[in-house]
Structure 1
Amino acid sequence: MGVLFSAPAPLSPMERLYDIAFRTEPQISVPQDPPLVVPVQADEQADIDISGDAFDFVRSIRVYHIQFSQHENRDGDCNRYDSTRLGSYGVQGDYRWTRSSVADVPPVSQLPEPVHCRSISYRSVFVDWRDHEGNYGFEEVRY
């Protein structure tokens, strides 16, 4: 969402071997304190007022759960199955799923164009958004 993370440069394989071979004491992480308990909201919305324009980037997030297939049967009929759903955020951060279709999925998706009746089976999660500066971004994961 317009944020940059700079990770430290990874060690080369030789540097990693040297570090492991000559380390004076083992580095084991053992928690000393009990785990932090974080309360979870039951009303499924933000715990602050996010209705202002500064939070439009939250409401711009759309999640498409795409499940689409089509094939031609022996009689020459085209059988299509489309159970695409759209997830989105409301004014106060409440999340909801609504029915959608592959026709509503943005064209930047890798979803093949369902022309004629060629055999297609496609499942993915496609997320798109606009960051706080209005820049468009997206990510898609097929499964």
Structure 2
Amino acid sequence: MGRPRAQRHKRLTQNQRFAIVRKRAEGVPIEDLAREFGVTTRSIFYTLKADQTLKLDARVRSIRVWDVRHYSHRETGRDDDCPESCDMRLGISSTQEEPGWQRTTPRAAPQWGLPSRRCASSNWRRGVGVEWEDHEGNHGYEWVAY
């Protein structure tokens, strides 16, 4: 007979960690966060400490991730046909809303994400773009093609 094993603690997902940091910044008490996420107050403190170390939420108010899995607007050679096709998703995380993904369209994409939507023989794009806005209203973005 050995010692009883300690109960294993619940692991927080990355989205839950972001939500904890955001809600704490809005003034929600640590005890309330612990109850809401089903963890100890120590887990909340560790999550907040890790965020301070990484400076994830100190200045960023919103992040939008444009996942362009496929975009094309090409001439097909038949009767001047030029279909536009895409598989795009938009991930949003901000201080006002829960993080999440949704399907999106080329019309909703920023100019830096789809620089040209005109019909051409080589108009295709694939990649991930991230845009952000900080608490002072400064805006930035980065595009990575793959």
TM-score normalised according to structure 1 size: 0.57
Superposition pairs of residues 34-45 of structure 1, within 5 angstroms: 40-42=11-13, 44-45=15-16
Q: Percent identity?
A: 34
2-structure distance, mates of 1:116, 1:126: 22
Structure 2 letter corresponding to 1:101: T
1:87 corresponds to: 91
Deviation of the 1:70 alpha carbon: 2.1
Q: Does the 8 Å contact 2:75/2:119 carry over to 1?
A: no
Farther off after superposition, 116-125 or 79-88: 116-125
Q: Does the 8 Å contact 2:73/2:118 carry over to 1?
A: no
2-structure distance, mates of 1:129, 1:78: 33
Farther off after superposition, 67-76 or 84-93: 84-93
Does residue 111 (structure 1) correspond to residue 84 (structure 2)? The answer is no
Farther off after superposition, 62-71 or 109-118: 109-118
Q: Which of residues 37, 59, 62 is equivalent to 2:64? A: 62
Structure 2 letter corresponding to 1:124: G
2-structure distance, mates of 1:62, 1:82: 18
Over residues 95-114 of structure 1, what are the superposed CA-to-partner deviations in whole Å (9 max), with x where a residue is unaligned? 2111112221222x153311
2:40 corresponds to: none
2:125 corresponds to: 122
What runs of 5+ residues in structure 2 fail to find an aligned partner?
1-9, 28-56
1-structure distance, mates of 2:132, 2:12: 24
Q: Which has the higher contact order (CA 8 A, sep 6+)?
A: 1
Equivalent pairs, count: 104
Deviation of the 1:117 alpha carbon: 4.2
Please identify runs of 4+ aligned residues in structure 1 that moved more than 4 A: 55-59, 90-93
2:20 corresponds to: 47
| Structure number having the greater helix percentage | 2
Question: Aligned-residue CA RMSD in angstroms?
Answer: 3.2
SS at match of 1:103: helix
TM-score normalised according to structure 2 size: 0.56
